């Protein structure tokens, strides 16, 4: 039975649970710590997001959902198996507007963060000596409150930084998102292949739509160039003998651009349908 660690709190918790439900797994009803799902031959363990890499790294849990930033900060040698497309953020340095412009300027300063291993490693690799101050959260307040000169934290919209009067500087330390991780010793036959294929199915169902349209025979090649699909579009002759019906997968965000282009090349009856579930 595959043992799966799922975040019980924070930004990762609800989207991870939603994704697993979409993939057909049993959902927890209350605050259960452990949830068996015998129909799918898996068992869920609801754990603190920060601890998930530790459990997976030790091999006591086979796989887990966590953030790439949390995995790297744990220092644990677990494997990032698949990015999951939610909880996207960057991890960046920031300081009061105009005060620090490059990473080298951090030398000798105090850097507040919840991700000390990640930050200390990043600075060490660049030969920059600074004092890392560990905080559990609300890191952006540390400069105003006088315990740090610089912060290193998760940035999504940047509004928390702005409201604290801070500005990012330097290159992003990391691009992060939720990831499925596995232990280096995980047995890939132990249900992981099925879990992974199901999660991939959710990602594709979320990221693509099905587009159907009719197109005259002499415009078919132009239309198919607009909708090349995953492998190749399905083309069926219409009964009138002059046109074709085409079906293809299109990236969700490109839907309207693709419909406009199809219309321009002469396609009509263009229909878009969302994908409920799939296996690629």
Ligand X SMILES: O=P(O)(O)OC[C@H]1O[C@H](OP(=O)(O)OP(=O)(O)O)[C@H](O)[C@@H]1O
Ligand Y SMILES: Nc1ncnc2c1ncn2[C@@H]1O[C@H](COP(=O)(O)OP(=O)(O)OP(=O)(O)O)[C@@H](O)[C@H]1O
Map residue 119 onto helix, strand or coil. Answer: helix
Q: Minimum Å distance from CB 11 to Mg ion?
A: 7
Which does residue 54 bind out of ligand Y, Mg ion, ligand X, none, counting CB within 5 to 8 angstroms by kind? none
CA distances from 99 to 5, 95, 96, 167, 169 (A): 42, 7, 6, 9, 10
E-strand ranges in the chain read: 2-7, 34-37, 42-47, 63-67, 79-83, 89-96, 110-113, 131-134, 150-155, 166-176, 178-182, 208-216, 234-237, 243-251, 268-274
**What are the structure tokens assigned to 65, written together?**
């959902």
Map residue 139 onto helix, strand or coil. Answer: helix
Stretch that binds ligand Y, among 7-15, 31-39, 141-149, 187-195 (CB under 6 A): 7-15
Q: Minimum Å distance from CB 94 to ligand X?
A: 10
Instruction: Print the binding letters for residues 35-54 with ligand Y: x by CB under 6 A, - otherwise.
Output: --------------xx----
Instruction: Print the binding letters for residues 83-122 with Mg ion: x by CB under 5 A, - otherwise.
Output: ----------------------------------------
The Cα–Cα gap between 184 and 188 comes to 10
Q: Confirm or reject binding of residue 147 to ligand X (CB under 6 A).
A: no
Q: Confirm or reject binding of residue 130 to ligand Y (CB under 6 A).
A: no
Instruction: Print the binding letters for residues 146-175 with ligand Y: x by CB under 6 A, - otherwise.
Output: --------x-x-------------------
Q: Confirm or reject binding of residue 12 to ligand Y (CB under 6 A).
A: yes
Q: Minimum Å distance from CB 14 to ligand X?
A: 13
The residue within the footprint of ligand X, chosen from 4, 84, 154, 174 (CB under 6 A), is: 154
Stretch that binds ligand X, among 40-48, 73-81, 158-166, 213-221 (CB under 6 A): 158-166
For residue 248, the cross-strand partners are 211
Which does residue 205 bind out of ligand X, ligand Y, Mg ion, none, counting CB within 5 to 8 angstroms by kind? none
Kindly report the backbone phi and psi dihedral angles of residue 51, in degrees, each rounded to the nearest multiple of 5, phi listed first. Answer: -90, -15
To the nearest 10°, the Cα dihedral for 189, 190, 191, 196? -60
Which residue's CB is nearer to ligand X, number 43 or number 69? 69
């Amino acid at each position: 039975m595959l043992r799966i660690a799922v975040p019980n709190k924070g930004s990762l918790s609800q989207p991870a649970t939603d994704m697993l439900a979409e993939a057909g797994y049993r959902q927890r009803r209350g605050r259960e710590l452990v949830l068996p799902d015998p129909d799918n031959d898996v068992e869920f363990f609801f754990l603190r997001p920060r601890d998930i890499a530790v459990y997976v790294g030790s091999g006591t849990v086979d796989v887990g959902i966590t953030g790439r930033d949390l995995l790297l900060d744990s220092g644990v040698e677990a494997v990032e198996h698949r990015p999951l497309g939610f909880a996207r953020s960057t991890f960046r340095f920031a300081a009061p507007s105009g005060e620090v412009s490059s990473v080298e300027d951090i030398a000798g300063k105090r850097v507040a963060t919840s991700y000390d291993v990640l930050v200390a490693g990043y600075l060490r690799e660049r030969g920059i000596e600074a004092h890392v101050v560990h905080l559990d959260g609300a890191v952006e307040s540390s400069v105003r409150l006088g315990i740090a000169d610089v912060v290193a934290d998760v940035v999504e919209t940047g509004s928390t930084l702005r409201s604290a009067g801070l500005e990012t500087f330097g290159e992003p330390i990391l691009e992060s998102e939720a990831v499925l991780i596995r232990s280096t010793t995980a047995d890939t036959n132990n249900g992981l292949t099925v879990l992974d294929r199901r999660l991939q199915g959710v990602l594709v169902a979320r990221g693509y739509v099905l587009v159907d349209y009719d197109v005259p025979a002499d415009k078919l090649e132009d239309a198919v160039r607009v909708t090349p699909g995953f492998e190749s579009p399905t083309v069926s002759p219409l009964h009138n003998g002059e046109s074709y019906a085409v079906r293809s997968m299109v990236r969700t965000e490109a839907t309207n651009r693709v419909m406009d282009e199809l219309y321009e090349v002469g396609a009509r009856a263009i229909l878009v349908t969302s994908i409920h579930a799939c296996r690629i």
